[in-house]
């Protein structure tokens, strides 16, 4: 399978992320459980999709915590940043070409190349 080919679940998850804002770059805060529930997938599927998006250089995140270790504490959800044009410098590190990212955007039918 091509690195820039998205699975059905990945397309659903990426479309959900896109629905959270406007433009090609957006920030959002969600837990894996919330994303999985909204997309009708498992948290493992969301994790695999996020790993693939990170390998493409379009998603970065700062992990939250569940705070389940302490009674009465509220956890912090994960903070995400999505950039469908790719983050500066990631093309050098990850080897993602602009053509690969155009193909990902084409699969979403959401934005111009």
Does residue 88 surpass a pLDDT of 70? no
Lowest-confidence segment of 3-12, 44-53, 96-105 by average pLDDT? 96-105
Question: Which pLDDT belongs to residue 86?
Answer: 78
Mean pLDDT of the chain: 81
pLDDT band with cut points at 50, 70 and 90 for residue 57: confident
- For the domain covering 8-108, report its CATH number: 1.10.10
Question: Which pLDDT belongs to residue 112?
Answer: 43
Q: What percent of the chain lies above the pLDDT cut of 70?
A: 79
Contact in structure between 75 and 65 (CB atoms under 8 Å)? yes
Q: How many CB atoms lie under 10 A from the CB of residue 49?
A: 23
Q: Looking at residues 49-70, what average pLDDT do you find?
A: 81
Domain spans, the chain? 8-108
Lowest-confidence segment of 29-43, 62-76, 92-106 by average pLDDT? 62-76
Q: Report yes or no on whether pTM surpasses 0.75.
A: yes
What does the DSSP 8-state code read for residue 54?
A: H
The number of CA neighbours under 13 Å toward the Cβ of 18 is 18
Does residue 111 surpass a pLDDT of 70? no
Question: Which pLDDT belongs to residue 70?
Answer: 58
């Amino acid at each position: 399978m091509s690195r820039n080919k998205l699975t059905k679940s990945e397309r659903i998850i990426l479309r959900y992320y896109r629905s959270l804002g406007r433009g090609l770059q957006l920030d959002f805060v969600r837990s894996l459980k919330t994303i999985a529930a909204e997309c009708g997938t498992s948290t493992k599927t969301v994790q695999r999709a996020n790993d693939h998006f990170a390998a493409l250089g379009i998603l970065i995140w700062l992990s939250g915590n569940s705070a389940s270790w302490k009674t009465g504490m509220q956890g912090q959800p994960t903070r995400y940043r999505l950039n469908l044009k790719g983050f500066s410098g990631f093309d050098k590190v990850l080897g993602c070409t602009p053509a690969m990212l155009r193909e990902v955007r084409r699969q979403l039918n959401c934005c111009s190349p």
